[in-house]
Amino acid sequence: MPAMETATAVTTLLLRGKRFEVRSGSTLRDAIRKIGLSPEAVLAAHDGELITDDRILRPGEEIRLVAVISGG
């Protein structure tokens, strides 16, 4: 049973059509860093609502990331 729990204890991050599976239970900020991005470079949404990067990720949820574009 522990292997099954580990397999389902993931959160999916979606960015530009790519899917990244990260361990649930960590903060969104840590998960964004783990996939090689800067938390300041993306906005995150769950079920159409913006969320902050201190949110604790829950198993089975999908978080959509949108790259922040700035210029001057």
Tens digit of each residue's pLDDT (9 = 90 or more) over 15-47: 999 999 999 999 999 999 999 999 999 999 999
CATH code assigned to 2-67 = 3.10.20.90
Residue 7 has pLDDT above 70, yes or no: no
Distance from the first to the final alpha carbon of the chain: 54
In this prediction the pTM is: 0.83
For the chain, helix, strand, coil in percent to 5 are: 25, 40, 40
Domain extents in the chain: 2-67
